[in-house]
Amino acid sequence: MKIRLSFVRPPLPWQPAALVLWVVAALATGAAFTFAAGASANRIERGQLELRLERANAQLAQRKPVQMPSAAETDALRRRIGELNGLAGVKGWNTPRLLEWLEQNTPADVHLVSVQHEPREGEVLLVAVSGTSAALTAFLRTLEREPQFAEVLLSKQGGRAGSPHTEFEIQLRLRA
């Protein structure tokens, strides 16, 4: 014979449903408080925004209308700006365009160690390194075929002692 003894009453059939309803009611109450707090914050912010809008409209009303220069003055100003841009302008490609071209046309086995671009003078100094001189020669040919480069000079060729890599120093002159 087996005796079952428990000091805890078994739950009544309506208790799990009551627990679920209590949780739903608590969540709904929390959501209602959150929405109420948000609505209150929105009312305060709206009042501040309306005040700012009134101030901005008052400032706009006080502003004097601006007289635009005549067409002749505008054309003269454009001419002067064009002359100044011509004096200080970039000869040839700008640096981002040059770097883009180098990225697209440098062979995979050639590594650029240094790129010095002088946009106002239209000059570029490249230092390239590769394991084979044939790859660097092919890169030089690619540079010579580019119509944007007026001059391609190999200024130094060599390698470091004990290094299997060949190093080229290339000077480029860009067309204006």
- Nearest CA to 125 out of 173, 88, 157 is that of 173
The runs of H, that is alpha helices, within 63-94 are: 71-88
Q: Are residues 159 and 109 in the same domain?
A: yes
Q: Are residues 108 and 154 in the same domain?
A: yes
166-174, strands of its sheet edge to edge: 110-118, 123-130, 166-174, 149-158
In a domain? residue 31: yes
In a domain? residue 88: no
Contacts of 111 (CB under 8 A, 6+ apart): 128, 129, 130
In a domain? residue 85: no
The runs of H, that is alpha helices, within the chain are: 15-62, 71-88, 95-105, 133-145
Q: What's the total number of domains in the chain? A: 2
Q: Are residues 103 and 61 in the same domain?
A: no
Domain extent, residue 163, equals 95-174
Q: Are residues 53 and 124 in the same domain?
A: no
Grouped pLDDT means (10 residues each) for the chain, 176 residues: 78 84 95 95 94 94 88 92 71 84 90 89 89 85 90 79 77 86
In a domain? residue 154: yes
Instruction: Output DSSP code: residue 92.
Output: S
Q: Are residues 112 and 162 in the same domain?
A: yes
pLDDT for position 158: 73
Q: Are residues 34 and 102 in the same domain?
A: no
In a domain? residue 3: no
- 34, burial (CB in 10 Å: exposed 0-12, middle 13-18, buried 19+): exposed
pLDDT for position 89: 62
